[in-house]
Amino acid sequence: MKVPVDLGRRAYDVSLGAGVRHELAALIQERAPRAREAVVITSASLRAQPWFDVETGLEQHVIEVPDGESAKSWSTLERVSEELATCRLSRHDVIVGVGGGAITDLAGFVAGIYLRGVGVVHVPTSLVGQVDAAIGGKTAVNLRAGKNLVGAIHQPLGVLCDSEVLATLSERDRLGGLAEVAKCWLLEDRRASDLASASLEDLILLAVRLKAGIVMMDETEIGQRALLNYGHTLGHALEILALERGRDELRHGEAVAIGLGFAVRLAHAMGRVGALEVANHDEVLSTLGLSWRLGGGDSIDSLVRAMAHDKKAHHDLTFVLPGAAGFEVVHHVPDGLVREVLEKFRGE
């Protein structure tokens, strides 16, 4: 199964299915026919997985980076760039990112800036990577001041989403990916009752099609692409506050699930949707095994402050919200209303 991301000269396909990682060498040959060397960026723990049999068909080097967000650090970026130079990677050669969203974000960014741009192929190995991070060309590393603050848009030559590699994913990382899937299901205005007949492959395909379609309409996020931030205003705030306390307390997906539960309640309080839509959101989230309950760890004040400082919020309370005209970005949501809905939500 292939989903096209038609961006003119930068068009590529996202291939999905069991075993598609074995198409890597053929993809590189087709999209980078002059390549002689390939550098695979991955982690030691992923390299030890039973499915790790990456074959580029070229002279192959492997650069290992840490798992998780540490891959997206300035120091890792510098080390990887130096290692690419040591491998004498040329502009015709390719980089292959094999890993979760953190590794494909790093691999995509270094590919975007090394020699002012070399080709990159992503083999996303996490659910978040397959349904979101590896598609659309957004790449970045983190700064101490915040996540993804230095980055670029660098579209890959292709993305291979192999369902076989997901078998080794931890339950927490699987659920994290399902939160992004829930977001897509809801953005597509689907009912919870239809989830029962959908396989994981169907859900991945739905999410990939949605993301590819939105990226084709709005590659650089001047409009429609912002809708993919549904559930992320409160989600990011919860994530930032959790990160300040301790790294592993709350994952991105867990925060997004709560953010989705809150966003629909806010839309309901603003008269944009009825109670049935709130119930549908809750049922979608719980059917996928996601908890949307807001714990008591953060004060309402700190949540509101963090939401107003979100880098996509432009210093006011901005949410993607459903409504009669579909989903839209709503700016200047009154502070008092946000607090009131948060209080009620916490009490549920």
- Marked catalytic residue, from 72, 229, 254, 277: 229
Q: Are strands 319-321 and 146-153 parallel, antiparallel or unpaired?
A: unpaired
User: Binding string to ligand NAD for residues 18 to 37, with x set by CB under 6 A, is what?
Assistant: --------------------
Nearest CA-CA partner of 323 in 225, 227, 208: 227
- The answer to whether residue 156 forms part of the interface with ligand NAD (CB under 6 A) is no
Q: Cβ closer to ligand NAD: 72 or 281?
A: 72
Is 211 considered catalytic here?
yes
Contact residue for ligand NAD among 10, 31, 146, 148 (CB under 6 A): 148
- The answer to whether residue 186 forms part of the interface with ligand NAD (CB under 6 A) is no
Residue 29 beta carbon to ligand NAD: minimum distance, rounded to whole angstroms: 25
- The answer to whether residue 17 forms part of the interface with ligand NAD (CB under 6 A) is no
Is 72 considered catalytic here?
no
In Å, what is the CA distance from 42 to each residue of 16, 54, 100, 106, 115?
20, 10, 9, 10, 20
Is 180 considered catalytic here?
yes
The label of the residue with tokens 């590794």 reads: 103
Q: Cβ closer to ligand NAD: 142 or 280?
A: 142
Nearest CA-CA partner of 284 in 194, 159, 210: 194
Task: State the helix-helix crossing angle for 335-347 and 252-269, rounded to 10 degrees.
Answer: 110
- The answer to whether residue 49 forms part of the interface with ligand NAD (CB under 6 A) is yes
List, as one string, the DSSP characters of 3-45: EEE--GGG-EEEEEETTGGGGHHHHHHHH-TT--EEEEEE-HH
- The answer to whether residue 56 forms part of the interface with ligand NAD (CB under 6 A) is no
In Å, what is the CA distance from 96 to each residue of 52, 107, 159, 342?
13, 7, 10, 43
Number of residues that bind ligand NAD (CB under 6 A): 31
Q: Which stretch binds ligand NAD (CB under 6 A): 79-87, 169-177, 240-248, 257-265?
A: 169-177
Contact residue for ligand NAD among 83, 132, 162, 298 (CB under 6 A): 132
Is 221 considered catalytic here?
yes
- The answer to whether residue 322 forms part of the interface with ligand NAD (CB under 6 A) is no
List, as one string, the DSSP characters of 226-281: GGGGTTHHHHHHHHHHHHHH-TTSS-HHHHHHHHHHHHHHHHHHTTSS-HHHHHHH
- The answer to whether residue 175 forms part of the interface with ligand NAD (CB under 6 A) is no
- The answer to whether residue 43 forms part of the interface with ligand NAD (CB under 6 A) is yes
Cα 236 from Cα 305, distance rounded (Å): 12
Beta bridge partners of 320: 329
Cα 200 from Cα 181, distance rounded (Å): 10
Q: Cβ closer to ligand NAD: 56 or 125?
A: 125
Contact residue for ligand NAD among 16, 24, 46, 204 (CB under 6 A): 46
Is 328 considered catalytic here?
no
Cα 317 from Cα 236, distance rounded (Å): 13
Q: Cβ closer to ligand NAD: 125 or 280?
A: 125
In Å, what is the CA distance from 53 to each residue of 24, 39, 40, 69?
11, 14, 11, 24
Contact residue for ligand NAD among 129, 156, 158, 235 (CB under 6 A): 129
For the record, the structure tokens of 244 come out as 């300040």
- Marked catalytic residue, from 61, 211, 268, 281: 211
- Marked catalytic residue, from 10, 225, 272, 339: 225
- The answer to whether residue 154 forms part of the interface with ligand NAD (CB under 6 A) is no
User: Binding string to ligand NAD for residues 202 to 241, with x set by CB under 6 A, is what?
Assistant: ----------------------------------------
Task: State the helix-helix crossing angle for 74-86 and 101-113, rounded to 10 degrees.
Answer: 60
Residues carrying an active site annotation = 116, 138, 180, 211, 221, 225, 229, 232, 236, 252
Binding site for ligand NAD (CB under 6 A): 43, 45-46, 49, 67-69, 72, 99-103, 105, 125-126, 128-129, 132-133, 136, 138, 147-148, 165-166, 168-169, 173, 176, 252
